[in-house]
Amino acid sequence: NVDAENSVDKRTPLHSAAASGNAQVVRTLVELGAHVNARMSDGITPLHKAAGEGHVRMVRTLAELGADLIAKDTDGATPLHLAAERGHVKVVPTLVELGAYPIAKDTDGNTPLHCAAGLGHVGVSQVLVKLGADLSSQNMQGMHPIHLCCSEGHAE
């Protein structure tokens, strides 16, 4: 069963292949019927895995195979949120180019820019602003991205 889920977090073989960046295995699994938007127990899709691991080519492969670019996990985070949070400066513009929303909000009202700024990912923050991220966007606590940046001690 190409969509077999493990008993811990419902991870499928496609999640594992996407996280490892193995495009050939991903293509083979999808050709054999694997669901490209399969969800783990926390709502994570294979695209979330690829974006979070910084695999640009895998992100493109999954998008080409029909992955949902704006899928949200149980916290409302999109693959773009994960790429921004982890500082993957090459994945971020790739996702936006393919159709991800730079102004998407998670359940706490954080945009990908909030995620990047709060963790001091200057390059990602700059890319997101160039791609249309809103510097004045507020999360559920009324915080702008710059508030998170400063509260976490990131002067850049």
Res 149: pLDDT: 81
Lowest mean pLDDT among 12-16, 39-43, 46-50, 119-123: 119-123
* Structural domain spans, the chain: 1-68, 78-156
Local confidence band at 105 (pLDDT 50, 70, 90 cut-offs):
very high
Interatomic CA distance for residues 106 and 112, integer angstroms: 9
- Write down the CATH number for the domain with range 78-156: 1.25.40.20
45-93 pLDDT, tens digit each: 999 999 999 999 999 999 999 999 999 999 999 999 999 999 999 999 9
**Angstrom distance (rounded) from CA 153 to CA 74:** 28
Model pTM score: 0.95
Position 153 confidence tier, pLDDT thresholds 50, 70, 90: low
Q: Which helix (H) or strand (E) holds 97?
A: helix 91-98
Assess whether pLDDT exceeds 70 at residue 156: no
Question: Going by CATH, does the domain composed of 1-68 fall within 1.25.40.20?
Answer: yes
Is residue 155 within 8 A of residue 115, CB to CB? The reply is no
Answer whether 145's CB lies under 8 Å from 136's CB: no
- Residue 152 above 90 pLDDT? no
pLDDT score for 151: 72
> pLDDT of 117-133, one tens digit each?
999 999 999 999 999 99
